[in-house]
Structure 1
Amino acid sequence: MKYLHIIIFALLITACGKEKNNVLEVTPTEEVHEDITVTQAQFKSENMAFGSIEEFDFNEGIKVNGMIDVPPQNKSSISTFIGGYVTKTPLLIGSEVKKGQLLVTLENPEYVEIQQNYLEVAEQLNYLKSEFNRQKTLFDEQITSEKNYLKAESTYKSNLAHYNGLRKKLQMMHINPQRVEQGTISSSINLYAPIDGFVTKVNVSNGTYVSPSDVILEIVDTHHVHLELSVFEKDIMAIKKGQKIRFQIPEASDKTFNADVHLVGTTIDGESRRVQVHGHIDNDEDHFIVGMFVDAEIITDSTKRVGLPKEAIISLEEANYVLVLKTKKNNEFHLEKVKVTIGKATEDVVEILNSEGLKNKQILVKGIGMLLNESEGGHSH
Structure 2
Amino acid sequence: MKHLYIILFAMLFVGCGNDKHNEPTALETEEDHRDEITITQAQFESENMAFGNLAEFDFNEGIKVNGMIDVPPQNKSSISTFIGGYITKTPLLIGDEVKKGQLLVTLQNPEYVEIQQNYLEVAEQLNYLKSEFNRQKTLFEEQITSEKNYLKAESTYKSNLAHYNGLRKNLQMMNISPKRVEQGTISSRINLYAPIDGFVTKVNVSNGTYVSPSDIILEIVDTDHVHLELSVFEKDIMAVKKGQKIRFKIPEASDETFDAEVHLVGTTIDGASRRVQVHGHVDNEEDHFIVGMFVEAEIITESTKRIGLPKEAIINLEDGDYVLVFDAEDNHKIHLKKVKITTGKETEDILEILNSETLKDKQILVKGIGMLLSNSEGGHDH
If the TM-score is normalised by the length of the shorter chain, which range does it land in?
A: 0.7 to 0.9
Change (3 A) 1:134 1:188: same
Task: Indicate how the Cα distance of structure 1 residues 91 and 330 shifts in structure 2: closer, same or farther if over 3 A, else same.
Answer: farther
Report the counterpart of residue 15 of structure 1 in structure 2: none
Q: Is the Cα contact below 8 Å between 1:36 and 1:375 reproduced in 2?
A: no
**CA displacement, residues 176-209 of structure 1 (integer Å, 9 cap, x when unaligned):** 1000000011111111111111111111111111
| Deviation of the 1:374 alpha carbon | 5.2
Give the superposition deviation at 1:343: 1.0
Cα pair 2:105 2:193 within 8 Å, conserved: yes
Matching of residue 218 in structure 1 with residue 219 in structure 2: yes
Residue in 2 that maps onto 1:181: 182
CA distance in 2, matches of 1:294, 1:374: 39
Q: Distance in 1 between matches of 2:331 and 2:219?
A: 69
Q: Is the aligned partner of 1:92 residue 2:93?
A: yes
1:33 maps to 35
Cα distance between partner residues in 1 of 2:150 and 2:214:
44
Deviates more, 1:92-101 or 1:161-170: 92-101
Q: Which residue in 2 is equivalent to 1:58?
A: 59
Mapped to 1, the partners of 2:97 and 2:103 lie a distance apart of: 12
The whole-number CA distance in structure 1 between the counterparts of 2:72 and 2:38 is 58
Please list the CA deviations of residues 198-248 of structure 1 after superposition, one character each: whole Å capped at 9, or x if unmatched: 111111111111111111111111111111111111111111111111111
Residue 315 of structure 1: how far off its partner (Å): 2.1
| Match in the other structure for 1:71 | 72
- TM-score, scaled to structure 2: 0.86
Asked if the contact 2:82–2:174 (Cα under 8 Å) also holds between the matched residues in 1, the reply is yes
Q: Secondary structure at the match of 1:270?
A: coil
1:323 alignment partner in structure 2: 324
Retained in 1: the 8 A contact 2:47–2:372?
no
- Please give the alpha-carbon distance, in whole angstroms, between the structure 2 residues aligned to 1:82 and 1:49: 72
Greater shift in the superposed pair: 158-167 or 359-368:
359-368
2:228 is matched with 227
Partner residue in 2 for 1:117: 118
Cα distance per residue 1:120-161 (max 9 Å; x no partner)? 100011111111111112222222222222111111111100
Question: Could you say which residue in structure 2 is the equivalent of 1:11?
Answer: none
Q: Letter of the aligned partner of 2:202 in structure 1? A: K
3-state SS, counterpart of residue 234 of structure 1: coil
- Does 1:291 pair with 2:283? no
Q: CA deviation at 1:36?
A: 4.2
Displacement after TM superposition at 1:268 (Å): 1.2
Provide the C-alpha distance between the structure 1 equivalents of 2:253 and 2:40, rounded to a whole number of angstroms: 38
Q: Percent identity?
A: 84
Gaps of 5+ in 1: 1-30
User: Are 2:36 and 2:335, in contact at CA under 8 Å, matched by a contact in 1?
Assistant: no
SS at match of 1:123: helix
Local SS of the residue matching 2:150: helix
Comparing 296-305 and 327-336, the one that deviates more: 327-336
> What residue number does 1:3 align with?
none
Superposition deviation, residue 375 in structure 1: 6.1
Number of aligned residues: 347
Equivalent residue number for residue 208 of structure 2: 207
Which runs of structure 2 are paired with 1:255-274 in the superposition (5 Å)? 255-274=256-275
Following TM superposition, the consecutive aligned residue runs of length 4 or more in structure 1 with deviations greater than 6 angstroms are: none
- Give RMSD over aligned pairs: 1.9
Q: C-alpha distance in 1, partners of 2:68/2:53? A: 38
Check 1:129–1:368 CA distance in 2 against 1; reply closer, same or farther (3 A cut).
Answer: same
1:130 maps onto 2:121 in alignment: no
Which amino acid is 2:39 matched to?
T
Per-residue CA distance 1:353-379 (angstroms, 9 max, x = gap): 2222211122222232211235679xx
The change in CA–CA distance for 1:323 and 1:177 in structure 2 (over 3 A counts) is: same
1:276 paired residue number = 277
Amino acid paired to 1:287: H
TM-score (norm 1): 0.87
